[in-house]
Amino acid sequence: MVTKRIMMKNNIIEKVLIYGILLFWTFICLFPIYWTATTSFKTAASVTQGLLIPWVDFEPSWKGWKHLGLSPDSIFTESTGREEFLARFTNTAIISSCASALAIILGSLAAYGLSRFNYKFGFMRNPDISFFFLSQLILPPVVLALPLLVLYKELSLLDTHIGMILLYTLTVLPIVIWIMRDQFNAVPIELEEAALVDGASVWVSFYKIVLPIVLPGIASAFILCLILCWNEYFLAALITSTDAKTMPVMVASQISSQSIRWWTMAAVSAALCLPLIIIAIFLERYIVKGMAAGAVKQ
């Protein structure tokens, strides 16, 4: 009886400890977002006093969002802030989705080939080719930065969507190949063999049989690529100036300028993060699957 009670007590302590740590970490993860979201509705007075809770501590105001032209009183009027913001937003959306799509196409084709056929390019066999692809992940962007800048200038690809798409495709391609190789390896070869015996070509059997099976894997890889491209700053700061400027570059340039106020900065940062937070909440399953694919070998 006594031992049982002690065990029960231990159990409760353990539970409290577990939930305590988990809630503490949740707080650490979410507080910066809460802080940014509330700061975007603050005025100068409530910022300097470090007030935390809207309606209780301070009265929310639309000042921060007004700069972006997204507050209720400015949304139907002309606003250069909103035009700028929307232009950057569309740039980021176009560049990151096109780059992810291109990386998915190139990457899944290569991953499928590597999982199904033996290649020989000179001295390179399949493991070497795989390593060649994955080694691109190690390459720090700074090494390519300047040579590409010069090359892009000569090809007049600087500050264009195409130029950015190509670069971003390069940065996420190894990740796609890494995820998709495991996906294809998990598909039983017999399915395709049957189709090939029936006279289909390899391309048809790939498109008609394998592709539908790995579609969830493709979705995870796509979302992961999208996240990485959306947040990329280093290369975008280098290549873009006006036409193809992305949101992180815009936000970064506003951080360093002194004239921008806290509430505006908070609104801009929140706007940069919001799409991805929504993706995280609704598509968490796919993101986790994509990241887990590399960790656990099937």
- Binders of other proteins in range 226-255 (CB under 8 A): 227, 230-231, 233-234, 247-248, 251-252, 255
Name the amino acid, one letter, at 50: G
Rounded CA separation 164/180 (Å): 23
Beta carbon nearer to other proteins, 4 or 297: 297
**Minimum gap (Å) between residue 3 Cβ and other proteins:** 14
Q: How far apart, in Å, are the Cα atoms of 289 and each of 88, 103, 222?
A: 30, 18, 12
Rounded CA separation 207/193 (Å): 14
Beta carbon nearer to other proteins, 82 or 148: 148
Among 96, 169, 183, 240, binds other proteins (CB under 8 A): 169
Q: Which of residues 23-82 bind other proteins (CB under 8 A)?
A: 25-26, 28-33, 35-36, 39, 47-50, 52
Stretch that binds other proteins, among 64-72, 75-83, 163-171, 211-219 (CB under 8 A): 163-171
Report whether 290 contacts 223 (CB < 8 A). yes
- 258 counts as binding other proteins under rule CB under 8 A: no
Q: Which of 215, 287, 263 is nearest to 46 (CA)?
A: 263
| φ, ψ dihedrals at 134, nearest 5° | -70, -30
Q: How many residues bind other proteins (CB under 8 A)?
A: 101
Beta carbon nearer to other proteins, 73 or 100: 100
**Minimum gap (Å) between residue 27 Cβ and other proteins:** 9
- 215 counts as binding other proteins under rule CB under 8 A: no
Rounded CA separation 39/229 (Å): 27
